[in-house]
Structure 1
Amino acid sequence: MSTFVKNAWYVAAWSREVGRTLLSRTLLGEQVLLYRREDGTPVALVDRCPHKLAPLSLGELKGDHVQCGYHGMTFDCTGTCVRVPGQQNIPPTARVTAFPLVERYGAVWIWMGDPACADIGTIVDVPHYGDPDWGLVDNQYLHFRSNYLNITDNLVDPAHTTYVHKNTIGNAAGEDVGVKVEQGDAHVLAYRWIRNAPPVPLVQKMANFSGMTDRWQYYYLHLPSTSYVDFGCIESGTEPTEDNKDRGFRSFSFNFLTPETETTTHYFWLHLRNYHAHDSAVSADVERLMTLTFEEDAVLLAYVQREQERTGVREYTRLGIDNAPARIRRMVERLIAQEAPLADKQGDARTTADACGA
């Protein structure tokens, strides 16, 4: 059974990746063709000619249309075949699926489920995006050799930072600090405050704290697989208001996970910060340090995936810190169940509202 939620927006590519060259990418187990029309509008089609199943990406663009490189069948932006060389009639089966797209935050988002459910209002909000007082590192990508749910487990787990990321965003001060969990209709939040502690290496490098700090980690996971981390610190004892946090050291890291296959994941990310916003050298350093942090996760989770496949077991023991990951997996399971064919004994199909989770 697939672990993919289809009725959701996923990042298919950064906007700068999609142009007048045919781009093929595996998304949710499906091969997808991406390109731009002559007016700049992005297009996404199933990358498979319905005749002999040759990848359309091996063909070429003819204006806004795609010509298959095998027998020349030509498809428009809706996936409708508009030409079959050598014959006048076009079979009704000569079409490919087209997917809704929207561009936001410098990325092309794709909806691979029921088009009637594609609500752009469900795309997560990115605070301070476009704010000139906040520095931005974007267009970042990593490839994880892990199922996306192992990564979402990791992204609502502040406790692992003490051990996995001790060279960047963690230190020993957080070892015995518990994690609190809150749940909404479409998100889970795991968070903790580490008070009166030395600043972590990243803060030591980028900020100018003279003494102990109070540090927060707020890990949000918006279903099915968009994560953002509100991370920062203030002088120890400072009242933790939003204004004081914005005046302290603060960043928002957004991680847009798009399943590639059941065992691999596209990991798109961007990072916003309130410190040294206009310093390109700091941006380069943040990019390097955050990439190091995510690569530490990628290496560890690849081993986790390997052992899960070898043993057929996800975990033998559950800990208190697994509260948030367990909630997310249950919520994802419910979404997948809503999308599965729901038929009663008479074989009646579900309604669109059921499929969209209404």
Structure 2
Amino acid sequence: MSNAAPNRRSFPLNAWYVAAWSREVTHALAPRTICDKKIVMYRTGEGKPVALEDACWHRLAPLSKGWLEGDQVVCGYHGLVFNAQGRCTHMPSQETINPSACVRVFPAVEKHGFIWLWPGEPALADPATIPDMHWVNDPEWAGEGVVTPMACNYRLIVDNLMDLTHETFVHKTSIGNSAVAEAPFEVTHGERTAQLTRWMLGIEPPPFWAFQLGSRLGIEGKVNVDRWQYINFEAPAAVVLDVGVALAGTGAPQGDRSKGVNLRICHFITPETERTCHFFWVLRRNFKLDDAELTVATRERNAAIVAEDKDVLIAQQQAMEAAPDAVFYNLNIDAGAMWARRIQERMIDAEAPPVLRAAE
């Protein structure tokens, strides 16, 4: 397939995307670009998240350059005031307010420690379809994450997460070894989901996993482990990794993971533009929940891993832009990423006007 489709969006709009961590949105104006749309977010005095188009009805000045008065946004250019429903409530030097004076309101919902935003048709925004990411703020799990700006198309990160064989090569000093690239795997898919499963039995753990196992069980020195990777994609761009290691032969493949470590690494990739995205990630564990030092150490180790991916993906984006007609070739290891892309493409196709769909 070609790496580019001229004049075609690479992301669906009728979908929930993570717009921000809950902690990022306060009673102050916070601008962010999502799916090529300029948006300004804030919380009302009651704590409800609000997302408005970041452009004043009057002269398109960014509302994020203004300020809040109570729960209303004051444009910093000419002083028009807009309420949380996007309706203008004040115009300078006149009593009559033009009835068309409003800005777009985007559906915004707070769930799982994030503010989720729907950039498409508001009538289709059903909060029940937000992906289940309860590990992020489940008290039975501990860990931290951040948002990493990425100068690449969001689908490159989805590809990266759906094919963890790259760990052998990109992350060979942290989470990768030859076992990852050599192990067999299975891929399944649904209407909006895809899953890749891989087990590596009786292997030496890479440094990251040796550290986690030592923290959990107090083990020092070399041991063999059974390692698993369950990669779970939910459209359009949520990927949760159920990953871990357990002492070899203690029953992990049969369901007993008690002699090991379990992690859930939740990733949310939100398109900013066709060439950039917001990469939200959080790593959660179900052991030593009160160990703040382990939380920081694990977060920093994962941040270093993300930085290695970032270097590769930015270089890939630059290569794609330099050769827009180049073709992507697929290997067996790309099966999970191919299903994710098929699902994304179906969502994008469904949003095209009927006339355009008929023409295609």
TM-score normalised to the size of structure 2?
Answer: 0.91
Contact 1:159/1:179 (<8 A) preserved: no
CA distance in 2, matches of 1:285, 1:345: 50
State whether residues 158 and 192 of structure 1, in contact with CA within 8 Å, keep that contact through their aligned partners in structure 2. no
Distance in 1 of aligned mates of 2:168 and 2:202? 16
Is 1:99 aligned to 2:99, yes or no?
Answer: no
Greater shift in the superposed pair: 225-234 or 127-136? 127-136
Contact 2:112–2:134 (8 Å) recurs in 1: no
The separation in 1 between residues aligned to 2:257 and 2:18, in whole angstroms, is 30
State the Cα distance separating 1:276 from its structure 2 match: 2.7
Give 1:201's aligned amino acid: P
- Is 1:184 the counterpart of 2:190? The answer is yes
Residue 29 of structure 2, aligned match among 22, 45, 48: 22
* Distance (whole Å) between structure 2 residues aligned to residue 27 and residue 297 of structure 1: 22
> Which of 154, 163, 177 is 1:157 aligned to?
163
Aligned AA for 1:107? Answer: F
Distance (Å, rounded) in 2 between the aligned partners of 1:12 and 1:102: 10
- Of the three residues 327, 335, 338, the one matched with 2:347 is 335
Who is 1:116 aligned against?
123
RMSD: 2.0
SS in 2 for 1:233: strand
Mapped contact 2:106–2:122 kept (Cα < 8 A): yes
Spell out, residue by residue over 1:176-217, the C-alpha distance to the aligned partner (whole angstroms, 9 max, x if none): 223321101111111211111001111211214562111011
Question: Is 1:284 paired with 2:299?
Answer: no
The whole-number CA distance in structure 1 between the counterparts of 2:305 and 2:254 is 26
2:78 is equivalent to residue 85 of structure 1: no
1:123-142 equivalent positions in 2, closer than 5 A: 123-138=130-145, 140-142=146-148
Amino acid at match of 2:182: D
2:287 aligned to which of 272, 275, 291: 275
> Does the 8 A contact of 1:162 with 1:174 survive in 2?
yes
Tell me if the contact between 1:158 and 1:190 (Cα under 8 Å) persists in the aligned partners: no
Corresponding residue for residue 146 of structure 1: 152
Tell me how far 1:81 sits from its aligned partner.
Answer: 1.0
- C-alpha change, 1:91 and 1:242, in structure 2 (3 Å) is farther
Are residues 321 and 344 of structure 1, via their aligned partners in 2, closer, same or farther at CA, if it must alter by over 3 Å? closer
Q: Does 1:263 align with 2:270?
A: no
Structure 1 segments of 4+ aligned residues over 6 angstroms from their partners: none
1:296-341 deviation digits (Å, cap 9, x = unpaired): 1111000000000000046443211111111111111110111122
Q: Is the 8 A contact 1:11 1:110 kept in 2?
A: yes
1:233 pairs with one of 245, 248, 254:
245
Kept in 1, the 8 Å contact 2:246–2:258? The answer is: no
Does the Cα contact within 8 Å between 1:6 and 1:112 map onto a contact in 2? yes
1:62 positional shift? 1.5
Query: Using a 3 Å threshold, how does the CA distance of structure 1 residues 16 and 202 change in structure 2: closer, same or farther?
Result: same
Q: Is the 8 A contact 2:113 2:137 kept in 1?
A: no
Structure with larger RCO (C-alpha < 8 A, sep 6+): 2
Matches within 5 A, 1:14-93: 14-93=21-100
Question: Which one is further off, 298-307 or 160-169?
Answer: 160-169
Report if aligned partners of 2:38, 2:54 keep a CA contact under 8 Å in 1.
yes
Higher mean alpha-carbon deviation, 268-277 vs 258-267, is at 268-277
**Are residues 313 and 300 of structure 1, via their aligned partners in 2, closer, same or farther at CA, if it must alter by over 3 Å?**
farther
Percent identity over the alignment is 38
Residue 246 of structure 1, CA deviation:
5.0
Shift of 1:130: 4.5
Whether contact under 8 Å (2:143, 2:282) holds in the other structure is yes
Structure 1 contact 173–194 (Cα < 8 Å) conserved: yes
Structure 2 contact 55–62 (Cα < 8 Å) conserved? yes
Match of 2:211 in 1: 205
Structure 2, unpaired ranges of 5+: 1-7
Q: Does 1:296 align with 2:303?
A: no
1:206-236 Cα distance to aligned partner (Å, 9 max, x none): 2145621110111111100011111111222
Match of 2:227 in 1: 215
Tell me the TM-score normalised to structure 1 length. 0.91
Q: What SS does structure 2 have at the residue aligned with 1:175? A: helix
CA distance, structure 1, for counterparts of residue 35 and residue 41 of structure 2: 15
Q: Distance in 2 between matches of 1:345 and 1:79?
A: 33
Match of 2:201 in 1: 195
CA distance in 2, matches of 1:73, 1:290: 45
User: Which whole-Å CA distance do the structure 2 matches of 1:266 and 1:221 have between them?
Assistant: 17
Listed as ranges, the gaps of 5+ residues in structure 1 are 347-358
CA distance in 2 between partners of 1:205 and 1:281 (Å): 13
